Amino acid sequence: MNSVTLAAGVRANLLALQQTSSVQEVVQNRLATGKKVNSALDNPGNFFTAAALSDRANDLTTLLDDMGQAVQTLKAADEGIKAIQKLVDSAKAKANQALASASTTDRNTFASEYNNLLTQIEDIAEDSGYKGKNLLNGDELKVIFNERTSDAQNSLTISGVSWTSVSNLSLAAVEDWSVGDDGDASINTTIDSLNTALTTLRTQASTFGTNLSSVQIRQDYTKAMVNTLQTGSDRLTLADQNEEGAKLLALNTRQQLSSTALSFASQADQNVLRLLG
């Protein structure tokens, strides 16, 4: 089949119309996806740079989830310490009541209640874990702060304590709170041990509090960094919807004008057709 020959004016206007349609497709795609760079073909530099920024943001987001879980583990341990402190205070109150009593029966009752409180301290220490990590049962918690390999990793290792045995708090069950000097001496020794335990609890609570503060600061920093990375990636790839909308409006107008110009350019051929008619 022989090719159709077009007049120069018709060909020029047809080419302009095709170019306008091609640009329209690009603009419509940007409006539909919200992005000016949808593939490496659009802008290789921006595409791969934005991909690298997004990948790092995703890696940090994963670490951010882990930091959140570490915060909960520390909070669980802190709640356990608070509960244990209350039990130690109660145990101290029992010891003071026994010291003030001159009744052997009452002292034996107080001693039994004291021993029960020690058992509850061990139970709370055992129950202060979160997702399998218990900082009051000797577990160690490692919190990773960046996405680098292990040799360049920033992290915080939090050492736990083993309070599932009250002996690690310098406490022990009592047997003799009898009336008399020996019983009084035993009670006073117990009170001294309880005061030491309270000091240990407060010191450890302060240590965990410092660790919690450090993790939360890094958590906030990482959130800000993820936002910075995502914003940077978006600026390289996202389209300005207002600008693209204005472009599409202008292209639609240009398309109408090109169609009109094409119609005018083809009138010469139509005049020849009239002569032949």
Question: For residues 200 and 112, is the Cβ–Cβ distance under 8 A?
Answer: no
Q: Are residues 86 and 191 part of one domain?
A: yes
Note down the domain range covering 230. 44-237
> Residue 18: pLDDT above 70?
no
The one-character DSSP state at 142 is E
Would you state the pLDDT for residue 249?
72
Within 10 A of 157 (CB to CB), how many other CB atoms are there? Answer: 9
Q: Are residues 246 and 173 part of one domain?
A: no
Q: What pairs with residue 133 in β-bridges?
A: 130
Confidence of residue 46 (pLDDT cuts 50, 70, 90): confident
Q: Are residues 95 and 151 part of one domain?
A: yes
Q: How many CA atoms lie within 13 A of 43 on its CB side?
A: 14
pTM of the model as a whole: 0.74
Q: Are residues 29 and 69 part of one domain?
A: no
pLDDT digits (tens, 9 = 90+) for 114-131: 999 999 999 999 999 999
- Give the contacts of 249 (CB within 8 A, at least 6 positions apart): none
* Distance from the Cα of residue 156 to its chain's centroid: 16
- Tell me how many domains the chain contains: 2
Q: In this predicted model, which residue has the larger pLDDT, 43 or 194?
A: 194
Q: Are residues 233 and 245 part of one domain?
A: no
CATH number, domain containing residue 192:
1.20.1330.10
Would you state the pLDDT for residue 183?
86
Q: Are residues 182 and 96 part of one domain?
A: yes
Coil, helix or strand at residue 150: helix
pLDDT digits (tens, 9 = 90+) for 198-213: 999 999 999 999 999 9
Confidence of residue 3 (pLDDT cuts 50, 70, 90): low
Confidence of residue 137 (pLDDT cuts 50, 70, 90): very high
Q: In this predicted model, which residue has the larger pLDDT, 263 or 140?
A: 140
Phi, psi of 160 (to 5 degrees): -90, 180
Q: Are residues 177 and 247 part of one domain?
A: no
> Mapped to the 3 state alphabet, what secondary structure does 41-97 carry?
CCCHHHHHHHHHHHHHHHHHHHHHHHHHHHHHHHHHHHHHHHHHHHHHHHHHHHHHH
In a domain, 84, yes or no: yes
